[in-house]
Amino acid sequence: MTAAAHPRRSALLFIDSLKIGGAERVTLQWAEWLSKGGWSVTLLTSKSASHDFYPVPAGLRRVQEPALPGLLNRALFWPLKLLRLRKLLQREQPALLIGMTTLPSIKLALASIGLSSRLVLSERNYPPARPLAWRWRLLRRLAYPRAHLHLVQTQGIAQWLHQRGLARRTAVLANAIVWPIPRLAPWLNPERSVPPGQKVILAVGTKLHQKGFDRLVAAFARLQADFPDWSLVILGIDDAPYRGVNQAARLRQLMGTESSRLILPGNVGNVGDWYKASALFVLSSRFEGYPNVLLEAMASGLPCLAVDCPTGPSDLIDPGLNGWLVSEQVASTDMEQPLRQALEDTAARVAFASKAQAVRQRNAPESLRPVFLDLMGSL
């Protein structure tokens, strides 16, 4: 039976916010796929629209998680917040619930106990890399086995969930690459940010520690004298505090006196233009789920150097064929030598760039969307 032959089904997807990030983009993509597949879709976020970076596609309904009065909005009153979420679910009565990322998934699983909705949970990172506080670990132990399906990005994440008895059924679905890459605000011209004649090493992300920008900047700082015609650009990092830390100031300190060769434009909406303007992409992450930025860089025809963190990069890079893959052990000690090799080997950069673009076909939405809709329909 086709989607159009079904009565209109309802789905609710829950995520903390629609701020810039891979999980947020995938949430919107899945919501749009469901909507085009004949579902009535509601997007539920904990934070208000004032935190949004991405526009909500037409046809999707947006609601905010019920908040408690300011004085009650503490861990002690968390069960009351969960009860308010349950009342919202009872009022909406969605046939399908999808929890995106760890904490929304836990809350959704607990709030939906006893309801008839089918429950899908989706980790968007490698769980051991971000240990939870004991309270959340206990709640995860109670909540996760309730899911009818855990839809994850890699086999490594699925295996971790099964080994710990947190999942009854899992399915693996890679991220899709939307091509051409959409252009959003704010728009920043690379030519106005990079000095003339400089080749660009590009990295993208908002979290210094997870993305390993400290080790990338430290390696480039030691190499900069040998490669005077290269600059390092990190999109997503600026002087705005992140959890009380000025990440940009820390990276400039690592860079040293030649900090002008480190360019930190902050968030940009035209990241595709930066891929085109760059000569090398580096993913120096300590952990990932399935890195959208690496997928986009490869699709853009950039030669890529990636750290083989527990999940993600090895699903995209076949070392020596379409990119460089650096062991986590090497990266944690010193990224200088692999970065030097990538900067020196022009022929390899050209060869890898040519092969990397194959991800456009392998990760095309046209291939992944039917798989996703079949999984949701099977529930």
pLDDT digits (tens, 9 = 90+) for 181-218: 999 999 999 999 999 999 999 999 999 999 999 999 99
Examine the domain organization and report whether 205 and 234 are in the same domain: yes
> What is the number of structural domains in the chain?
2
For residue 87, is it within any domain?
A: yes
For residue 185, is it within any domain?
A: no
For residue 182, is it within any domain?
A: no
Whether pLDDT at 125 is above 70: yes
In the 8-state DSSP scheme, what is residue 310?
S
Q: What value does the mean pLDDT of the chain take?
A: 94
Examine the domain organization and report whether 196 and 136 are in the same domain: no
Distance CA(92)–CA(10), nearest Å, equals 9
Distance CA(282)–CA(279), nearest Å, equals 10
Task: Give per-residue pLDDT as tens, 271-314.
Answer: 999 999 999 999 999 999 999 999 999 999 999 999 999 999 99
What range defines the domain where residue 306 resides?
A: 190-362
For residue 184, is it within any domain?
A: no
Bridge partners for 58 per DSSP = none
Confidence of residue 73 (pLDDT cuts 50, 70, 90): low
Three-state DSSP state, 148: coil
% of the chain surpassing 70 pLDDT: 96
For residue 36, is it within any domain?
A: yes
Q: How many CB atoms are located within 10 Å of the residue 105 CB?
A: 26
For residue 54, is it within any domain?
A: yes
Whether pLDDT at 65 is above 90: yes
Three-state DSSP state, 152: strand
What is the chain's length? 379
Confidence of residue 334 (pLDDT cuts 50, 70, 90): confident
Distance CA(207)–CA(337), nearest Å, equals 24
Give pLDDT, residue 78. 83
Examine the domain organization and report whether 157 and 294 are in the same domain: no
Distance CA(13)–CA(45), nearest Å, equals 8
For residue 242, is it within any domain?
A: yes
Examine the domain organization and report whether 75 and 63 are in the same domain: yes
Examine the domain organization and report whether 201 and 61 are in the same domain: no
Distance CA(106)–CA(83), nearest Å, equals 14
In the 8-state DSSP scheme, what is residue 154?
S
Examine the domain organization and report whether 371 and 348 are in the same domain: no
Examine the domain organization and report whether 28 and 104 are in the same domain: yes
Examine the domain organization and report whether 297 and 369 are in the same domain: no
Examine the domain organization and report whether 329 and 195 are in the same domain: yes
Examine the domain organization and report whether 238 and 133 are in the same domain: no
Between 67 and 95, the more confident residue is 95
Task: Give per-residue pLDDT as tens, 143-169.
Answer: 999 999 999 999 999 999 999 999 999
In the 8-state DSSP scheme, what is residue 96?
E
Examine the domain organization and report whether 329 and 254 are in the same domain: yes
Give pLDDT, residue 67. 82
Examine the domain organization and report whether 89 and 136 are in the same domain: yes
Look up the CATH number of the domain holding residue 123.
3.40.50.2000
Helix axes 365-378, 22-36, angle to 10 degrees: 70
Whether pLDDT at 75 is above 80: no
Whether pLDDT at 26 is above 70: yes
Give pLDDT, residue 10. 97
